[in-house]
Amino acid sequence: MTQSTFNVYPSLAIGVTQLTGVDNKTFLQGQLTCDLDLLSPQKSALGAHCDAKGKMLAILRLLQVDQTVLALQALSNVESHLPSLKKYAVFSKVEIVDASAQYRCTGLSGHQALSWANSLTNEQLSDQQDSIETAYGVITSSPLMLDDEPRLVVVSTENQILALNEALATCETTTLSDKDWESLDIQCGSPQITPALQAEFVPQMLNMQMIDGINFKKGCYIGQETVARMHFRGLNKRAMFIVRASSHIALQPGDNLERQVGENWRNAGTIISVNHTDGKTVACAILPSDIELDCQLRAKNSDDDSQLMLSTPSYFSQS
């Protein structure tokens, strides 16, 4: 029996917004929490798009391909987010379109996946260069890993996906689903915004400042006043944690959690993302930043009394 060398996730639930025109990066600089001056074909950028009150409408991973910017986010959020992103575009030379149907995002995980990607060009993926353009599409590495196992996303056009599939067919791989990738995302503490959560939370509540998703030295952008005040005055008292259960608990984004206080149960926070695999539940939830990890948690208005275990993403120790 042939032993697999890395995992392939053929079609991820990632949407792609395409921004073209000479002002695309200048326009985004005034919209997002990240510094677009740092975006290049070799270096991606992570940022939040906020409303005027500093509440997030989307979390975007940006890639530059030639002079085009591709903004990746949860596929389910693209359609409802697009009008907000286009709102001020009339003042800039930029064209913004939902290009999700023109691109496919493929996930790769494992140390051999990184070796395979690095073998395609003379360039090597690293902290300084997390993106490379290949005949199979743009390959970008995720800084959020589980047990230090590399994770890559390949963003391919229709023609490139055919070439990618042919290339992967010659490798020793295991095919997994987008739900398996979703589980990895959650266990890594990867934040995302979906329609149910738009305009509800400031970026710090989803740990964006811990994963280079906010640049506090850049110029003005929509919602900057609130985001900066939360940071410099220490006003944010919430953070995103990982919640697990050994059983299937019917949770979905926007649901509330309660924690036990004495003999009573008090509201604790909100589910951000959730995955059910092999009869188990794993989720990301916004909770008080000083919550004790051994506290008793349960899903609000649920008959399931299964114990919810709480932990922090690995990047907590690095921030």
> If pLDDT is split at 50, 70 and 90, which confidence band does 193 have?
very high
Torsion region of 279: left, alpha or beta (phi above 0 gives left; psi -120 to 50 gives alpha): left
Please tell me the predicted confidence (pLDDT) of residue 122. Answer: 85
Torsion region of 148: left, alpha or beta (phi above 0 gives left; psi -120 to 50 gives alpha): left
> If pLDDT is split at 50, 70 and 90, which confidence band does 304 have?
low
Please tell me the predicted confidence (pLDDT) of residue 123. Answer: 86
For a pLDDT cut of 90, what percent of the chain falls above it?
90
pLDDT one-digit tens code per residue, 68-101: 999 999 999 999 999 999 999 999 999 999 999 9
Please tell me the predicted confidence (pLDDT) of residue 303. Answer: 66
Q: Where in the chain is the domain with CATH 3.30.1360.120?
A: 6-187
Mean pLDDT in residue range 5-19: 97
Q: In CATH, which of 3.20.20.70, 3.90.245.10, 1.10.10.10, 3.30.1360.120 is domain 6-187?
A: 3.30.1360.120
Please tell me the predicted confidence (pLDDT) of residue 176. Answer: 97
Torsion region of 70: left, alpha or beta (phi above 0 gives left; psi -120 to 50 gives alpha): beta
pLDDT one-digit tens code per residue, 123-178: 899 989 999 999 999 999 998 999 999 999 999 999 999 999 999 999 999 999 99
Average predicted confidence (pLDDT) for the chain? 94
> If pLDDT is split at 50, 70 and 90, which confidence band does 1 have?
very low
Q: Where in the chain is the domain with CATH 2.40.30.160?
A: 237-319
Please tell me the predicted confidence (pLDDT) of residue 4. Answer: 60
> If pLDDT is split at 50, 70 and 90, which confidence band does 305 have?
low
Q: Where are any strands of DSSP class E within 14-171? A: 14-20, 45-50, 56-65, 68-74, 95-98, 103-109, 131-134, 137-141, 151-157
Is pLDDT at 240 greater than 90 in this prediction? Answer: yes
CATH of domain 237-319: 2.40.30.160
> If pLDDT is split at 50, 70 and 90, which confidence band does 301 have?
confident
Q: Where are any strands of DSSP class E within the chain? A: 6-9, 14-20, 45-50, 56-65, 68-74, 95-98, 103-109, 131-134, 137-141, 151-157, 173-175, 238-245, 256-261, 264-277, 280-288, 297-299, 309-311
Is pLDDT at 273 greater than 80 in this prediction? Answer: yes
Lowest mean pLDDT among 15-24, 63-72, 263-272: 263-272
Please tell me the predicted confidence (pLDDT) of residue 2. Answer: 42
pLDDT one-digit tens code per residue, 98-126: 999 999 999 999 999 999 999 998 889 99
Please tell me the predicted confidence (pLDDT) of residue 182. Answer: 97
Mean pLDDT in residue range 183-191: 97
